[in-house]
Structure 1
């Protein structure tokens, strides 16, 4: 079970980092979401995965599962959803103003690889 969770955390982290390094804004947003999923899974797995154990200690229970990582994961899910919404709105407003969704494009509109942005091409005409 621990190997499965460790593999999933590693795979989500690797895919998230790969997508963050892309030039377009949508893969960057997806990469940030994957990284937050990896952190959530890591926090959840840090609470000692116990099968058929109650989350709270009461009479007659031999052991219990620590509820703190579960509460942290729920809080992290809410925060990451809010941050993803903010990042999507920032990327959308940037796309609407510059007509380009490249992350590495300079403020002037022209990209550094010699390809001009559509707004810069219209101004040149």
Structure 2
């Protein structure tokens, strides 16, 4: 199961990097979202995917699931949601002010 999740995470990272290298501002934001989702899957996989076991140690339980990766992912989801909201607002304002979302035109490069 871990191999499948790691392959999926690799696909998310590859798609994120492809989108981060695009010229449109919205695609760059989608790339950052996909990059954070890939990181969430890697953190989840590092915690060893165990099913049917309690997340904390209780009386009589010898094997348990590590709760730390789950807490890290929950915190990361909240942070990435806030950053995504900020990036979307900044992209909207940039597009409204400059009438373009092309990164080359925003940098002052060629005006094709």
Match in the other structure for 1:25: 25
Question: 1:62: how far off?
Answer: 2.0
Who wins on radius of gyration, i.e. which is larger?
1
The yes-or-no answer on 1:93 pairing with 2:105 is no
Name segments (4+ residues, structure 1) moved above 2 Å: none
Q: Distance between the aligned counterparts of 1:14 and 1:47, measured in 2? A: 23
SS, match of residue 62 in structure 1: coil
Over the residues paired in the alignment, what is the CA RMSD in angstroms? 1.2
Match in the other structure for 1:40: 40
SS, match of residue 103 in structure 2: coil
Q: Distance between the aligned counterparts of 1:74 and 1:104, measured in 2? A: 36
**Structure 2: which 5+ runs fail to align?**
none
Match in the other structure for 2:80: 80
The yes-or-no answer on 1:57 pairing with 2:57 is yes
Summarize deviations over 1:22-50 as a string: whole Å, max 9, x none: 10011111111000000011111111111
Q: Distance between the aligned counterparts of 1:105 and 1:40, measured in 2? A: 33
Aligned length: 112
Q: Distance between the aligned counterparts of 1:106 and 1:87, measured in 2? A: 16
User: Greater relative contact order (Cα 8 A, min sep 6): structure 1 or 2?
Assistant: 2
* TM-score, normalisation: structure 1: 0.85
| Contact 2:47 2:69 (8 Å CA) reproduced | yes
Instruction: Say if 1:103 and 1:71 are closer, same or farther in 2 by CA, change over 3 A.
Output: same
Question: 1:107: how far off?
Answer: 5.1
Q: Distance between the aligned counterparts of 1:53 and 1:92, measured in 2? A: 45
